[in-house]
Amino acid sequence: MPSTMNNIAKQGDHGAAMMPVIQGVGRAAIEIAAVLRGAVFRGALGGAGSENVQGEQQQVLDVLSDEIFLEEMRSTGFICAVGSEEQEELLVIEEYTSADYLVLVDPLDGSSNLDVDGPVGTIFSVVKRKTANSERPHVSDTLQNGREVIAAGYVLYGPSLMLVCSVGEGVHGYTYNPNNARFEVSHPDMIVPETGGYYSVNESNKDAWADDMGNKLDGMKEKTGLGMRYVGAMVADMHRTILKGGVFLYPADDKNTTGKLRLLYEAIPMAFIMEHAGGKAMSSDGIAILDLEPEALHQRVPVYLGSETNVDALLG
Ligand code: P6P
């Protein structure tokens, strides 16, 4: 009998509380996947004619995925607020302002891949509120370092529909089985290979990188002989790195002087997964992503994630 996501209830200190939340993520994933599959027939590809707080053109599907995800988090009854890439402010769930947990989410990561039918993803993490349950949830509840995260993961909308997550006791991959209309365990106990795999970076930015990262990358390539793969959607590039090994990086550059990727809903959840898969997740030499103290909901940071051998070969 294949294991389902019900086995999350037995994992770590928070499995029982996190199972309904992650099942809610699974329901949102199934709904979002269905919308993606039929988007071309509904004229839902392309821009929404609006910008998000990052000043990026929102895709129609960014907005729709955000709405679907929020609704599924609301329906769990465990979430008091959601911090989303697509929303400037913290979204308080009015029916459950006394609930214990908050979710940080990038509802549709890599959405620029959509009109070329490339892979995209959803990235999430869960933290316990710091404010009293009698108070109204506050953005300060989201500004916790990554060591406070109690669950995190991602959904990969690819040839199959996968949900990879951890509640602090291993990293486990679930694949949606359409025959049974549910997610079933397909990749138990995911561990990043120590050597091999690929380096994954948008190398066209190399001349603009900060911290002499161009020369450091050349040194790592010479030392490891790794090939290169780059999809342009963090979820897809990270999933391959965890399964095959290597290193994914997005350094700071002349345009993104503090990095491009968002700390709270891209870097921290992926760092939580990478560390629980036995890998390393750094924001600069000697500074782990999970040790950074967030200062703002949409803060950006440089990221270097992969096997210890390859991250060390890069950052020294
Ligand atoms: P670039 C997608 O827009 C994203 O936020 C990540 O998913 C991805 O890793 C990165 O940006 C890609 O950025 O500059 O290479 O297109």
* Joined tokens for residue 237: 């590039």
CA 132 – ligand 1 centroid, Å: 36
Res. 1 pLDDT band, cuts 50 70 90 = low
Q: For the chain, how many structural domains are there in total?
A: 2
- Same-domain status, 43 and 121: yes
Number of other CB atoms surrounding residue 43 within 10 Å: 8
Same domain membership, residue 53 and residue 17: yes
- Looking at residue 22, the DSSP 8-state letter turns out to be H
Domain range for 116 is: 5-187
209 and 158 housed in the same domain: no
As a whole number, mean pLDDT of residues 91-98 equals 98
Give CA angle at 219 (233, 309), nearest 5°. 65
Q: What are phi and psi of 41, to 5 degrees?
A: -85, -15
Are 205 and 115 part of one and the same domain? no
Ligand 1 pocket, residue 109 CB under 6 Å = yes
Output 224-230 pairs: Cβ under 8 A, ≥24 positions apart.
Answer: 224/195, 224/199, 224/309, 224/310, 224/313, 226/196, 226/197, 226/198, 226/199, 226/310, 227/198, 227/199, 228/198, 228/199, 228/200, 228/201, 228/203, 229/198, 229/200, 230/200, 230/201, 230/202, 230/203
What is the rounded CA–CA span in Å between residue 94 and residue 81?
8
Alpha helices in 39-117 (DSSP H): 60-76
Q: Is the CB of 232 under 6 A from ligand 1?
A: yes
Mean pLDDT of the chain: 95
- In the reported structure, the alpha carbon of residue 98 is separated from the centroid of ligand 1 by a whole-number distance in angstroms of 35
Site to probe by mutation for ligand 1, drawn from 123, 256, 260 as the one with most ligand atoms within 8 Å of Cβ, is 260
Is the Cβ atom of 249 under 6 angstroms away from ligand 1?
no
Sign of the Cα torsion 157, 231, 308, 255 reads negative
208: CATH: 3.40.190.80
Both 151 and 254 in a single domain?
no
Same domain, 125 and 263: no
In this prediction, residue 314 carries a pLDDT of: 93
Q: Do 140 and 207 sit in the same domain of this protein?
A: no
pLDDT of residue 295: 97
Q: Compute CA distances 131 → 21, 76, 138, 139, 310, whole Å.
A: 20, 20, 7, 10, 40
Say yes or no: 74 and 218 in one domain.
Answer: no
**Residues across the chain:** 316
pLDDT in tens, 131-176: 999 999 999 999 999 999 999 999 999 999 999 999 999 999 999 9
Q: Are 167 and 263 members of one domain?
A: no
Residues 239 and 282 in one domain: yes
22-74 pLDDT per residue, tens: 999 999 999 999 999 989 888 878 777 888 777 777 788 999 999 999 999 99
55 belongs to a structural domain: yes
Q: Distance, CA 137 to ligand 1 centroid (Å)?
A: 30
Q: Whole-model pTM? A: 0.97
- Say how far residue 6 (Cα) sits from the centre of its chain: 22
